[in-house]
Amino acid sequence: MISYQEAYKIVIATKTNFGIEEVELLESTGRVLAEDIKADRDFPPFNRSTKDGIAVNSEEIRLHKPIKIEGVCAAGSTQKTLENAENCMEIMTGAVLPQNTDAVIMYEEIDITGDFVTITKPFKKDQNIHKKGSDQKKGEIILRSNTFISAGEIGILATVGKSIVKVQKLPKIAIISTGNELVDINETPLPHQIRMSNSLTLKALLDQRKIESEILHLPDEKDVLEVKIREALNKFDVLLLSGGVSKGKYDFLPEVFEKLKVEKLLHRVAQQPGKPFWFGESKETGTHVFSFPGNPVSTFVNFHLYFRDWLLAGSGIHPQDQKVVLKSAIENLSNLTKFLLVKVENSAGILTAELINGNGSGDLISLSKSSGVIKVNPNSKHSDNKEFTYIHFD
Ligand SMILES: Nc1nc2c(c(=O)[nH]1)N[C@H]1C(S)=C(S)[C@@H](COP(=O)(O)OP(=O)(O)OC[C@H]3O[C@@H](n4cnc5c(N)ncnc54)[C@H](O)[C@@H]3O)O[C@H]1N2
Ligand code: MOO
Ligand SMILES: [Mg+2]
Mutate to test the pocket of ligand 1, among 199, 246, 252 (most ligand atoms within 8 A of CB): 246
Span from the CA of 244 to the centroid of ligand 1 (angstroms) = 7
| Homologous superfamily assigned to 20-43+134-168 | Molybdopterin biosynthesis moea protein, domain 2 (3.90.105.10)
The band of 320, judged by pLDDT with boundaries at 50, 70 and 90, is confident
Span from the CA of 143 to the centroid of ligand 3 (angstroms) = 47
Domain boundaries, the chain: 2-18+170-314, 20-43+134-168, 48-130, 322-392
Residue 321: per-residue pLDDT: 83
Fold observed for domain 2-18+170-314 = Molybdenum Cofactor Biosythetic Enzyme; Chain A (3.40.980)
Q: Taking 90 as the threshold, does the pLDDT of residue 302 lie above it?
A: yes
Q: Taking 90 as the threshold, does the pLDDT of residue 347 lie above it?
A: no
Q: What is the pTM of this model?
A: 0.88
Element (H, E) at 329: none
Strand partners, 129: 49
The band of 157, judged by pLDDT with boundaries at 50, 70 and 90, is very high
Mutate to test the pocket of ligand 2, among 267, 275, 300 (most ligand atoms within 8 A of CB): 275
Residue 289: per-residue pLDDT: 98
Q: Taking 90 as the threshold, does the pLDDT of residue 319 lie above it?
A: no
- With H, G, I as helix, E, B as strand and everything else as coil, classify residue 44: coil
Average pLDDT over residues 287-291: 98
Residue 172: per-residue pLDDT: 98
Atom of ligand 2 nearest to the CA of 361: 5
Span from the CA of 275 to the centroid of ligand 2 (angstroms) = 5
Which ligand sits nearest to residue 298's alpha carbon?
2
Residue 201: per-residue pLDDT: 96
Average pLDDT over residues 148-157: 96
Nearest to 339 by CA among 328, 351, 355, 350: 355
Atom of ligand 1 nearest to the CA of 217: 35
pLDDT digits 0-9 by tens, 69-80: 999 999 999 999
Atom of ligand 2 nearest to the CA of 275: 1
Atom of ligand 2 nearest to the CA of 362: 5
Helices (H), the chain: 4-13, 151-159, 198-208, 222-235, 253-259, 296-302, 309-314, 365-368
Average pLDDT over residues 360-386: 94
Residue 348: per-residue pLDDT: 87
Residue 30: per-residue pLDDT: 92
**Residue 223, exposed/middle/buried by CB under 10 A (0-12, 13-18, 19+)?**
exposed
Which amino acids bring their CB within 6 angstroms of ligand 1? 177-179, 181-182, 194, 196-199, 242-248, 251, 273, 275-276, 293-296, 298, 361-362
Q: Taking 90 as the threshold, does the pLDDT of residue 345 lie above it?
A: yes
Residue 293 Cβ inside 6 Å of ligand 2? The answer reads yes
The band of 361, judged by pLDDT with boundaries at 50, 70 and 90, is confident
The band of 372, judged by pLDDT with boundaries at 50, 70 and 90, is very high
Span from the CA of 199 to the centroid of ligand 3 (angstroms) = 16
Average pLDDT over residues 216-244: 97
Average pLDDT over residues 107-131: 98
The band of 62, judged by pLDDT with boundaries at 50, 70 and 90, is very high
Based on C-alpha coordinates, what's the Rg of the chain? 30
Atom of ligand 2 nearest to the CA of 298: 3
Mutate to test the pocket of ligand 2, among 1, 245, 271, 272 (most ligand atoms within 8 A of CB): 272
* Alpha-carbon gap, residue 279 to 299, rounded angstroms: 13
* Alpha-carbon gap, residue 272 to 338, rounded angstroms: 5
The band of 358, judged by pLDDT with boundaries at 50, 70 and 90, is confident
Nearest CA to ligand 2 atom 4: 273
Average pLDDT over residues 313-325: 91
Residue 297: per-residue pLDDT: 96
Element (H, E) at 290: strand 288-292
Q: Taking 90 as the threshold, does the pLDDT of residue 49 lie above it?
A: yes
The band of 324, judged by pLDDT with boundaries at 50, 70 and 90, is very high
Residue 191: per-residue pLDDT: 95
Nearest to 98 by CA among 156, 47, 141, 62: 47
The residue among 360 and 35 whose pLDDT is bigger is 35
Span from the CA of 277 to the centroid of ligand 1 (angstroms) = 10
Nearest CA to ligand 1 atom 35: 198
**Average pLDDT score over the chain:** 96
Nearest to 142 by CA among 130, 152, 132: 152
pLDDT digits 0-9 by tens, 6-27: 999 999 999 999 999 999 999 9
- Written out in words, the top-level CATH class of the domain with range 322-392 is mainly beta
Span from the CA of 363 to the centroid of ligand 1 (angstroms) = 12
Residue 225: per-residue pLDDT: 98
Q: Which CATH number fits domain 48-130: 3.60.150.10, 3.40.430.10, 2.170.190.11, 3.40.190.10?
A: 2.170.190.11
- With H, G, I as helix, E, B as strand and everything else as coil, classify residue 205: helix
